[in-house]
């Protein structure tokens, strides 16, 4: 169910309408019972006056008594109903009024906020184009919310882009054909097609993908964390001064956090690593692409109820996941920049794949909603085949910041490219729309080979499952009423690629964490002193001691600021560096990662330079900064 304000309202309206209809029915029954009761009484009275043999008289008396009892009972019921009716009518009026009031308040609030956001935007633009600004960028501005090198005039484009995505739903239509026919349809175009036609012996890899049980681990890991305490604090009271600002610059109390850091959240992308382990054995690269696509969608499945924000990691904070035994992989994240917040991640699996990414989270507060844009490429390489996939994450939006229950949505497109074969996958996340007939959280996609020929159709939802269906024929449809032409794909019956694991018991009181998420912040021996598990404010928050956690958070942030000041002072004043950001980058070097130009994307990105697991082996952490 979508608990979005709108559907709540219409539901309440509907309920009230149904109630009043039922009340009308009760009234009608009431009148009928009274009318028929009176008629029955009359008939009985008439019978009384007749001369009849004695035994009939006995019978008649019995009928009379029963009728009287029935009348008394009916009267009691009628009175009860009348009371109910009066009460219900009274309350229904109250509800209607309350609802009316709520609606007006909400509309009013949203207008006010939109006004504010617009004013803020125009002020900012005015400020940017102010004469004489360019040659004298004042300190306050560079400290302010919107100073990135790109010159943030792209604000408006971001908005328009977000709404454009909504209009165009899926651009193709899928028709399932029966296996027997397409053997004829395809003729004998090589073994591949015949294989598919007898659709049951398809690559077992795709079949097995979703159903592999989790490997049990030798280590006993925790299956719960303390229940989330019930502190009330209104998000809006903090956010209202911050429209248009970078979220990472808004000082937020832990009350809106979940007890995990952004590094742990990134690591959670590996929850369905099984998909990649299976993809290793795919003979065909387009089949492999299907599993990679399912993997890229699966990383959103954890977000559906997770509206609390992860802790923004301290600069130099790390998080390791050393799970060779049960997950077959080792993963390391490091926070490599503080403004903008940026984390580098490197994973190596013993099954023969590695994944790396540097993600910068750009999150803007836009009045009614927050948009979260993870920037940066994700790389995945399969060692044996050399298949090298690259994709980027889509935009997430958190709605109902002001009123109602927060909910999260994903929108936009993801393109996954295999740089070795040039196979591509286009995934489309359809944004939720109250008026759309599409299912919520829907994802569709098409996988095409290096020649650009469509091979598979993908469909599903990012919080539940993904399926793929082999395309046997494609043809253009007749243009629709709006002149847009959609391709019609004839496919074999779909196969399940991925299915979300059910949430653990009591998840709703444990921040909706998945089974994996519950284990991430569990204390472990031998981790680096910079590991998120050792971060004190997050630990206090997990234990439910929020007031102490808030105090601790302030101490840590102050410590980080003074470290930064010292670092900037130690720089020689003139090194030709103009902007704060460049000075910052010069002054700070990550420990386990280094900035390199990515040969495939041409961007600078932090790449793992090695050494962490060796240091862990030796338990020699002398090089780690003291950040907590």
DSSP annotation of 233: -
Q: 177-191, 279-293, 373-387: lowest mean pLDDT where? A: 177-191
Q: Mean pLDDT throughout 301-317?
A: 90
Q: Mean pLDDT throughout 357-381?
A: 90
Confidence of residue 580 (pLDDT cuts 50, 70, 90): low
Report the relative pairing of strands 377-382 and 353-365 from DSSP bridges: antiparallel
Alpha-carbon distances of 573 from 149, 325, 567, rounded to whole Å? 21, 50, 12
Give the Cα separation of 275 and 617 in Å (integer).
29
Q: What contacts 24+ positions apart, CB below 8 Å, involve 577-584? A: 579/142, 579/147, 579/149, 580/142, 580/143, 580/147, 581/147, 581/148, 581/149, 581/339, 584/337, 584/338, 584/339
User: Which residues are registered as beta bridge partners of 323?
Assistant: 329
Residue 310's nearest CA partner among 248, 370, 231 is 248
Q: How many CB atoms lie within 10 A of CB 15?
A: 12
Residue 148's nearest CA partner among 316, 340, 276 is 340
Q: Per-residue pLDDT tens for 104-163? A: 888 878 777 777 777 777 777 788 777 665 454 444 333 333 333 333 333 333 333 333
Give the Cα separation of 584 and 339 in Å (integer).
9
Torsion of CA 61, 67, 70, 76, to 10 degrees: -100
Joined tokens for residue 250? 């808004």
Q: 109-113, 179-183, 359-363, 521-525: lowest mean pLDDT where? A: 179-183
Give the Cα separation of 213 and 326 in Å (integer).
11
Q: Higher confidence at residue 263 or residue 482?
A: 263
Q: How many CB atoms lie within 10 A of CB 144?
A: 14
Torsion of CA 199, 200, 201, 206, to 10 degrees: 90
Dmax (CA) of the chain: 127
Q: What is the pLDDT of residue 81?
A: 79
Q: 169-178, 202-211, 242-251, 386-395: lowest mean pLDDT where? A: 202-211
Q: Mean pLDDT throughout 434-451?
A: 86
Q: How many CB atoms lie within 10 A of CB 626?
A: 9
Q: How many CB atoms lie within 10 A of CB 293?
A: 28
In this prediction, what percent of the chain has a pLDDT beyond 90? Answer: 44
Q: What is the pLDDT of residue 150?
A: 39
What integer best gives the mean pLDDT of the chain?
81
Phi, psi of 347 (to 5 degrees): -130, 135
Confidence of residue 256 (pLDDT cuts 50, 70, 90): confident
Q: What is the pLDDT of residue 297?
A: 96
Confidence of residue 326 (pLDDT cuts 50, 70, 90): very high
Sign for the pseudo-dihedral over CA of 223, 226, 229, 233? negative
Contacts of 508 (CB under 8 A, 6+ apart): 305
Collapsing DSSP to helix, strand or coil, 37 comes out as helix
Confidence of residue 272 (pLDDT cuts 50, 70, 90): very high
Give the Cα separation of 67 and 62 in Å (integer).
9
Give the Cα separation of 233 and 620 in Å (integer).
43
Sign for the pseudo-dihedral over CA of 541, 547, 550, 551? negative
Buried b (16+ CB within 10 A) or exposed e, 471-496: bbebeeeeeeeeeeeebebbbbebbb
């Amino acid at each position: 169910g979508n608990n979005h304000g709108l559907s709540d309202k219409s539901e309440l309206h509907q309920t009230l309408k149904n109630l009043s209809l039922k009340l009308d029915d009760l009234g009608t029954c009431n009148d009928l019972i009274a009318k028929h009761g009176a008629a029955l009484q009359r008939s009985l009275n008439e019978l009384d006056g007749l001369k009849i043999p004695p035994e009939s008289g006995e019978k008649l008396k019995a009928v009379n008594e029963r009728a009287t009892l029935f009348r008394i009972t009916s009267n009691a019921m009628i009175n009860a109903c009348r009371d109910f009716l009066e009460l219900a009518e009274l309350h229904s009026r109250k509800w209607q009024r309350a609802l009316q009031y709520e609606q007006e308040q909400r509309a009013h609030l949203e207008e006010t906020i939109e006004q504010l956001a617009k004013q803020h935007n125009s002020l900012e633009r005015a400020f940017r184009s102010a004469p004489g600004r360019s040659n004298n960028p004042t300190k306050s501005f560079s400290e302010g919310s919107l100073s990135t090198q790109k010159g943030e005039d792209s604000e408006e484009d971001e908005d328009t882009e977000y709404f454009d995505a909504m209009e165009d739903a899926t651009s193709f239509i899928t028709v399932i054909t029966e296996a027997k026919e397409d053997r004829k349809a395809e003729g004998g175009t090589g073994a591949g097609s015949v294989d598919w036609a007898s659709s049951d012996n398809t690559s077992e890899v795709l079949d097995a993908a979703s159903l592999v049980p989790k490997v049990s681990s030798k280590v006993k890991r925790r299956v719960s964390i303390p229940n989330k305490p019930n502190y009330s604090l209104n998000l809006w009271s903090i956010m209202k001064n911050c429209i248009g600002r970078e979220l990472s610059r808004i000082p937020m109390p832990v009350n809106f956090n979940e007890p995990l850091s952004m590094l742990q959240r990134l690591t959670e992308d590996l929850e369905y690593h099984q998909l990649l382990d299976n993809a290793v054995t795919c003979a065909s690269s387009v089949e492999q692409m299907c599993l990679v696509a399912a993997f890229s969608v699966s990383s959103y499945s954890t977000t559906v109820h997770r509206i609390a924000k992860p802790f923004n990691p301290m600069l130099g904070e790390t998080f390791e996941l050393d799970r060779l035994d049960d997950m077959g992989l080792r993963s390391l994240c490091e926070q490599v920049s503080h403004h903008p917040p940026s984390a580098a991640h490197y994973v190596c699996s013993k099954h023969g794949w590695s994944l790396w990414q540097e993600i910068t989270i750009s999150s803007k507060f836009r009045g009614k909603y927050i948009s979260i844009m993870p920037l940066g490429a994700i790389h995945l390489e399969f060692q044996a085949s050399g298949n090298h996939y690259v994709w980027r994450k889509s935009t997430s939006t958190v709605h109902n910041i002001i009123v109602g229950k927060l909910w999260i949505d994903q929108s936009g497109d993801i393109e996954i490219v295999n740089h070795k074969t040039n196979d591509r996958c286009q995934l489309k996340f359809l944004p939720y729309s109250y008026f759309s007939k599409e299912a919520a959280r829907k994802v569709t996609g098409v996988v095409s080979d290096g020649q650009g020929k469509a091979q598979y159709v993908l469909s599903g939802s990012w919080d539940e499952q993904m399926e793929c269906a082999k395309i046997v024929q494609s043809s253009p449809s007749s243009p629709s009423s709006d002149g847009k032409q959609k391709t019609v794909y004839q496919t074999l019956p779909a196969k399940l690629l991925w299915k979300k694991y059910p949430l653990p018991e009591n998840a709703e009181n444990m921040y909706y964490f998945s089974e994996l998420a519950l284990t991430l912040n569990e204390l472990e021996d031998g981790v680096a002193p910079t590991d998120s598990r050792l971060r004190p404010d997050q630990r206090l928050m997990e234990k439910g001691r929020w007031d102490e956690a808030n105090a601790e958070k302030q101490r840590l942030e102050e410590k980080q600021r003074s470290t930064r000041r010292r670092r900037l002072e130690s720089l020689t004043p003139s090194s030709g560096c103009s902007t704060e950001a460049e000075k910052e980058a010069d002054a700070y070097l990550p420990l386990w990662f280094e900035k390199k130009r990515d040969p495939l994307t041409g961007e600078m990105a932090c790449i793992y330079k090695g050494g962490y697991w060796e240091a862990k082996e030796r338990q020699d952490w002398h090089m780690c900064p003291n950040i907590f």
